[in-house]
Amino acid sequence: MPDGTFSSVWAGEILEHVTDPSRIISEAMRVLKVGGKLIMTTPVGHSHYDPFHVGPREGGWDEASMKELLKPWASQVVKMEQIAESGTNPSCYLIVLQKEA
């Protein structure tokens, strides 16, 4: 896929299934147009047990590990918040990055 092809990229519940999630983010950002948005979700901690989750193993994604993962794109993070269905504890992160020029 050529650079700058898409206005948005959706990566729902993907990061926890790959050994190198930064590669997924890098590729998504590469194919975004300037001003385009990458929208991702991933479980908080081990709130969604799945034997095919590969990382991070120790405690699942928490705020510190998510910030560490997003460090190369820190200036492009528009939103990073824990979300939940009404009346339940947060179970997923919603992350939005917007590609800069």
In a domain, residue 1? The reply is no
CA 53, 29, 6, 62 torsion-angle sign: positive
Residue 86 lies in a domain: yes
pTM, 2 dp:
0.90
User: Total structural domains in the chain?
Assistant: 1
Interval 15-21 mean pLDDT: 91
Q: What is the pLDDT of residues 35-90, one digit of tens each?
A: 999 999 999 887 667 778 887 766 788 899 999 999 999 999 999 999 998 999 99
In this predicted model, which residue has the larger pLDDT, 54 or 4? Answer: 4
Residue 15 lies in a domain: yes
What residues make up the domain containing 26? 6-98
pLDDT at position 94 is 97
Q: Which tokens hold the place of 44?
A: 């908080």
